[in-house]
Amino acid sequence: MPRRASLSAASGLALCMVATTSAAPVRADLRTFGNWIVGCDNKAECTALGIPEAARNPAAPAVVLRIGVDRTSLSGFEFAIVPLPNGDPASRPITVTCVLCANGLRPTAGEAADRMELHGERITLPDMQGARWLDALGKGRRIVVTSPGDGAGTTIDTSAFLVAWTHLAQTRGDLLRQATVGKGVPSLHAGQPQPERRRAFPAREVIPSGSPGIERVTRKCPSTADSMPYRQFALPGDVTLWAVPCRAGTTLTIHWYQAAGVMDLPSPLELPDADRGQLKAGEHGLADSVFDFDFGILRARSGPPAREDCGVQRAWGWDGRAWFLLERRDMPACIGLPPSEWIRTYSSP
């Protein structure tokens, strides 16, 4: 379990967590403030990402500061530092310095500073150190990233952090308020009955049965019918799922169809996207999608072509009767951050 520091140790920033509320329903969308991206999921678990300058030298060492705020407590957060790939063949360690006072790029003699050394792996700051860094961010202090032999080093701009953090706290407070009045997510108060969590059931991949209905569908994509035949899966509940590949130029899209039984006429699959409506996974298809049938989970990523470090990543589960959204993660900036570190904007209750 990751350690979570106490916000009360972060002096004035603790007050930001007592957020104002509004009457309008809140969507857990992302917002960008300078070099900071913030967002929450439907359970009021929120994340702030501090990203490097867009104009930085791509060969320079860089990190993302990731601050996750616990949904069950007003006083919990996790402060992590995530290194980004920079093409350094030597994989040299990098030093991340939080300058706690004064000005200038590098800490001078007598300046208070915290330093953390990374060897290519994500680290989570200890409790009190995380609180000091959070307090320093709120005061506009500098985050300097260097590696052995580098000159000036790179920085993460902290000038917009306080505005971003205040917005995150307000959004989180509104989501919690909606939960307590019976809207949105379930109540987070101890002792309150919680709904049973939906779970995905595994499926089986089977030999395509030659259903006339799905054969008609595959003929719409003759360029892929021979080299990439469709796949067929048996879902719990006597439901059949088909994955039909269709290539247009260099773009491969998987079109998903479903039917009760094998020989029934397949229907284009539509998948829920929280409060954003339905995704037409059959009619429009899903690029970069795969069905992990051993776990009953359909995964898809949408974003710029040939990029896997930004966009939207979704996962749906089959519960024996219907598809439900398991998780959604968003990342608008293409900077090399892996999907596991993206901001989660939905999590199944």
- Of 180, 195, 222, at which residue does a domain stop? 180
pLDDT in tens, 94-120: 888 887 654 444 545 555 678 888 888
pLDDT digits (tens, 9 = 90+) for 23-54: 444 556 799 999 999 999 988 999 999 998 76
Q: Does residue 197 form part of some domain?
A: no
Rounded CA-CA distance 310/290 in Å is 18
Tell me if 341 is assigned to some domain. Answer: yes
Q: Cβ(243)–Cβ(237) under 8 Å? A: no
159 and 18 within one domain: yes
pLDDT of 213: 75
Share of the chain above pLDDT 70, in %: 74
Contact of 146 with 61, CB cutoff 8 Å: yes
Question: What is the rounded average pLDDT of the residues 149-171?
Answer: 84
Residue 210, Ramachandran bin (φ over 0: left; ψ between -120 and 50: alpha; else beta): left
Count of domains for the chain: 2
Residues 156 and 28 in one domain: yes
90's CB contacts (< 8 A; 6+ apart) are none
Closest by CA to 240, choosing from 214, 259, 267, 266, is: 259
Concatenate the DSSP letters of all residues of 37-91 into one string: EEEE-TTS-EEEEE---TTS-TTS--EEEEEEE-SS-TTEEEEEEEE-----TT-
Least confident of 25-34, 64-73, 161-170: 25-34
Beta bridge partners of 328: 314, 346
165 and 210 both lie in a single domain: no
- Assess whether 106 and 26 both reside in one domain: yes
Report the 10 Å Cβ neighbour count for 82: 19
pLDDT(190) > 70: no
Helices H / strands E in the chain, number of each: 5, 24
**Residue 194 domain-assigned (yes or no):** no
Please list, in sequence order, all residues whose beta carbon lies within 8 angstroms of the beta carbon of residue 188, skipping any fewer than 6 positions away: 43, 44, 71, 72, 176, 179, 180
Range of the domain at 245: 204-347
Q: Residue 116's beta-bridge partner residues?
A: 96
pLDDT at 24: 46
**Whole-angstrom distance, CA of residue 212 vs CA of residue 175:** 48
Is 273 found in the same domain as 124?
Answer: no
pTM: 0.83
Quick check: 71 and 78 in contact, CB under 8 A? Answer: no
Does residue 179 sit in helix, strand or coil? helix
Say whether both 265 and 318 belong to one domain: yes
CATH number of 60's domain: 2.60.40
Do 275 and 130 share a structural domain? no
Percentage helix, strand, coil for the chain under 3-state DSSP, each rounded to 5: 15, 35, 50
Cα–Cα distance between 295 and 199 in angstroms, integer?
A: 10
Alpha helices in the chain (DSSP H): 13-16, 127-138, 161-180, 212-218, 222-225
Residue 316 near residue 271, CB atoms below 8 Å: yes
DSSP-derived letter for residue 196 is P
pLDDT band at 279 (very low <50, low <70, confident <90, very high): very high
In a domain, 195, yes or no: no
Instruction: Let me know whether 44 and 88 are in one domain.
Output: yes
